[in-house]
Amino acid sequence: MGEFEIRGQEMAAPIEVVIPAEVAFDIDELFKVQRAVFERMGHPSCNSGADLRLTLARRFMVDGGGNLKNFGE
Amino acid sequence: MWFPALADLVAANDELVDFVEFEPVTRLAATPDVGKPVVVHGVTCAVGGSVPPAYADMRALADVAARVDSPWVSDHLSVNRFESDVDTGFFLPPAQTSDAVAVAARNIRALRQVVRRPVAFETGVNYLRPRENQLPDGDFFAAVAEAANCLILCDVHNLWCNERNGRQPVLDVVAALPADRVCELHLAGGEEHDGYLLDAHSGTIDPELVELAIEVASRLPHLRAVTFELIPDYVGPNGIDAAVLGDQLRQLHRIWAARGSRAPAPLRAAPSVVRGAASAWERELESAVRGPVAAGVLAADPAIPVYRELIGAVQRGNVVTALPLTYRLLVLMTGVAATDELLDGYVAAHPPHAWAYDEARQFQSFAEGVDCPHLAEVLAFELGAYEAVVTGERVRVRFTCEPHGLLDALRAGTPPDVVPGSYEIVVEPPRQAGGRKAD
């Protein structure tokens, strides 16, 4: 997803890591239950009903074994 | 209604789809490429309020419409911005008075001048009680259409919600409309909430609504499109697969087949003048839905708590959508209850923004000082990635721990096990994908 670039300066200087923006927002990884989240990053869409996104965000948590579990529901 | 997440379902029913309707909700929207005609349906240029649509938003809508050669452009006869320069966060109903008719007509004419093609307004959902000193729903829509000389997108599901929630019956509304101006119907599924039927676009079309839509279509001789609206979020939870969508599209074809099969209702005389300034109504709306407690003449309407709840839910949804890693960090490090309390406090103290980036920046300011390790860094990283995309420039973000371990854990939704250190992430804009050599 990126590469480390150690600039060889004194220890106080930060280690540089380069990441492409589209990898930073890999939608398939971030939201397995809502694959099209990016096109909704803007004005709300024209439905006038309940908004599920907080509920869906809570669901995307996994335990140490990689099993999806529900937080706080 | 087309969303990228629905592309597979649409493709599986290709022979049943004659066109797609596209809703450009982001500044980076890519138009659908599905080999079908595309009709543009806006959400950023609502025409019902005293604050006119921003020229930049109309221009953006015009560009999308030109790209796909949309036969008309539609947007909502709703209020989406208060005169206090605050976004409503939700489509709110306009006053149904003569002044509001004039306001809407002015906005529609301005929009038409920019998009340079016919404009249709969508008949909106209205959860408020009808008011005796305002026009009935159908008369209001008709007056706007005549004053603006525009088309009408008749959202039958909205009108059905309105009827079920105590407003004018659908067929009475339709009887009042100038039938030759109705170019499109919207159909959708809704959901019950606190005694209201909400226009949630959450599922399949109720069979009763299908039959009602057939009756509506029969009175519309110049109908050109029938659209099914479905939010992708509900596809999985409501079990909507290709077969279910196919069935819905067949119902739309039944509605389409019925168009113009009956003589439309005769044109009605224009309603008499109904007093009431649109801006005064909107100030009452703002008093009712904004602030810690509902206030003003609308505060007693039983729908106001529903509106306040829906507006808050959308604002929270925008925060977690724009800042998914930040949200997970908060939940993993402080717990769901504390995160919910933080979001509740944020929503109560800050108005919503139309654009998720602005909402995220506002949340970043609010979250300064919140006791959560690496919160400021993750916020800066997520906002930095947006900025890299929008500006095309590299963005640098400092971390006080090894960032891959932290960000990978957040992406997976697992508690991070961080390694302290001094790091700087350089986020490359999309056209410059990949790393660069050290200096």
In chain B, residues 6-45 whose CB comes closer than 8 Å to chain A? 6, 23, 25-27, 29, 41, 43-44
* B298 found inside a domain: no
Domain match, B73 and B187 both: yes
**Where does residue B266 fall: left (phi above 0), alpha (psi -120 to 50 degrees), or beta otherwise?**
beta
If we measure between CA atoms, which residue out of B207, B142, B205, B129 comes closest to residue B174?
B142
Highest mean pLDDT range out of A32-36, B116-120, B244-248?
Answer: B116-120
The beta strand positions in B17-171, using DSSP E, are 20-22, 38-41, 73-76, 79-81, 87-92, 119-122, 151-155
* Percentage, residues of chain B above pLDDT 70: 96
Domain match, B242 and B318 both: no
Residues in B touching A64 (Cβ below 8 Å): 414
Distance from CA of B398 to the nearest CA of A (A): 8
* A71 found inside a domain: no
* B268 found inside a domain: no
Average pLDDT, chain A: 55
Q: Which residue has the higher pLDDT, B340 or A39?
A: B340
Res. B101: pLDDT tops 70: yes
SS3 A5: strand
The pLDDT tens digits of the residues spanning A13-30 come to 777 777 666 665 554 444
The shortest CB-CB distance from A14 to any of B357, B398, B438 is to B398
Among B223, B257, B291, the domain boundary falls at: B257
Structural domains counted in chain B: 2
* B297 found inside a domain: no
Q: What is the pLDDT of residue B265?
A: 75
SS3 B49: coil
CA atoms within 13 Å, Cβ hemisphere of B160: 26
* A73 found inside a domain: no
| Complex ipTM value | 0.75
Average pLDDT, chain B: 90
pLDDT band at A60, cuts 50/70/90?
Answer: low
Domain match, B250 and B308 both: no
Count the neighbouring beta carbons within 10 Å of the beta carbon of residue B244. Answer: 16
* B345 found inside a domain: yes
Size of interface A-B (CB pairs under 8 A): 220
* A33 found inside a domain: yes
Domain coverage including residue B245: 4-257
Could you give the CA distance from residue B199 to residue B212 in angstroms, rounded to a whole number? 16
The pLDDT tens digits of the residues spanning B124-167 come to 999 999 999 999 999 999 999 999 999 999 999 999 999 999 99
Res. B310: pLDDT tops 50: yes
Q: Which residue has the higher pLDDT, A36 or B304?
A: B304
* Percentage, residues of chain B above pLDDT 90: 66
* B271 found inside a domain: no
| Nearest residue of chain A to residue B316 (CA atoms) | A54
Residues in A touching B239 (Cβ below 8 Å): none
Could you give the CA distance from residue B246 to residue B14 in angstroms, rounded to a whole number? 9
Burial B5-19 (b: 16+ CB within 10 A, else e): bbbebbeebeeebeb
Residue type, B338: A
Q: Which residue has the higher pLDDT, A51 or B164?
A: B164
Could you give the CA distance from residue A61 to residue A33 in angstroms, rounded to a whole number? 11
Could you give the CA distance from residue B8 to residue B4 in angstroms, rounded to a whole number? 8
* A26 found inside a domain: yes
Domain match, B249 and B311 both: no
Are the C-beta atoms of residues B199 and B188 closer than 8 Å to each other? yes
* A12 found inside a domain: yes
Res. B122: pLDDT tops 90: yes
Could you give the CA distance from residue B177 to residue B77 in angstroms, rounded to a whole number? 15
* A72 found inside a domain: no
Mean pLDDT of A58-71: 60
Domain match, B187 and B319 both: no
Domain match, B241 and B390 both: no
Residues in B touching A47 (Cβ below 8 Å): 188, 199-202, 229, 231
Among B194, B227, B257, the domain boundary falls at: B257
Res. A8: pLDDT tops 60: no
Q: What is the pLDDT of residue A9?
A: 38
Q: What is the pLDDT of residue A21?
A: 64
The shortest CB-CB distance from B422 to any of A15, A60, A63 is to A15
The pLDDT tens digits of the residues spanning B204-241 come to 999 999 999 999 999 999 999 999 998 877 777 778 88
Q: What is the pLDDT of residue A39?
A: 41
Q: Name the least confident of A39-48, B123-132, B221-230, B430-439.
A: B430-439
Are the C-beta atoms of residues B32 and B2 closer than 8 Å to each other? yes
Are the C-beta atoms of residues B317 and A34 closer than 8 Å to each other? no
Res. B190: pLDDT tops 90: no
Residues in B touching A21 (Cβ below 8 Å): 385, 388-389, 427-430
The pLDDT tens digits of the residues spanning B343-399 come to 999 999 999 887 777 888 999 999 998 999 999 999 999 888 878 777 888 899 999
Structural domains counted in chain A: 1
The pLDDT tens digits of the residues spanning B272-286 come to 889 999 999 999 999
Q: Specify the CATH number for the domain of residue B177.
A: 3.20.20.150
pTM above 0.95, yes or no: no
The pLDDT tens digits of the residues spanning B66-86 come to 999 999 999 999 999 999 988
| Nearest residue of chain B to residue A34 (CA atoms) | B233
Domain coverage including residue A28: 3-42+50-65
Domain match, B246 and B124 both: yes
